Amino acid sequence: MSRKNRLSHLKTMMLMPIMLFLALFAFTPSAIASSSADITLDQAMAVIAAARTKAQKQGTLMDIAVVDAGANLKAFVRMDDAFLGSIDISIKKAKTARFFNMPTGDLGALAQPGKPLYNIEFSNGGLITFPGGLLLKDSKGVVIGAIGVSGSSVENDHEVALAGAQALLK
């Protein structure tokens, strides 16, 4: 194989994962920034309240973050005695869900060794790729933000996040 062909092959091999990612997720920063729908403070507080109620029913102590459509922190609560280390994790779960428009657990499945997004958690200043981050949608199904929950098992985190997300559908 000639040097020119080797370089062309190398470029193709390096660009394929990026093209696959963009094709699968149609993610661009401008797509997030141009979103006209955004969560209100009242909606964010309703999400927090529903998530907190679920955590109390579980007997867990959670850090709960809500980000807006642009992945900016909109509301946050740290339940009394919840882990300090979970503050950052909850915020990153919410941001990760919004950055990639999918639950963090789904992204995690694609980020395992041998999968197309292996090591993606090292991008964007650090992502969280295990359950507990979910999109928040309005009654029309439009993404208006995301919730991130941390403080217990990933199963409990996911259940609390789900309770928060469902508050917008009532």
Predicted confidence (pLDDT) per residue in 21-49, tens digit? 555 555 444 444 444 689 999 999 999 99
Cα–Cα distance, 166 to 160 (Å, whole number): 10
101, two tokens: 């428009």
Higher pLDDT, 24 or 155: 155
| Domain positions in the chain | 29-169
Kindly indicate the confidence band of residue 1, based on its pLDDT and cuts at 50, 70 and 90: low
Full-model pTM: 0.79
134, two tokens: 């979910």
Pick the CATH number of 29-169 from 3.40.50.11540, 3.30.450.150, 3.40.50.720, 3.40.920.10: 3.30.450.150
Q: How confident is the model at residue 170, as a pLDDT?
A: 80
Cα–Cα distance, 87 to 12 (Å, whole number): 40
Cα–Cα distance, 24 to 13 (Å, whole number): 17
Q: How confident is the model at residue 34, as a pLDDT?
A: 45
Cα–Cα distance, 160 to 28 (Å, whole number): 29
Q: Are strands 143-150 and 63-68 parallel, antiparallel or unpaired?
A: antiparallel
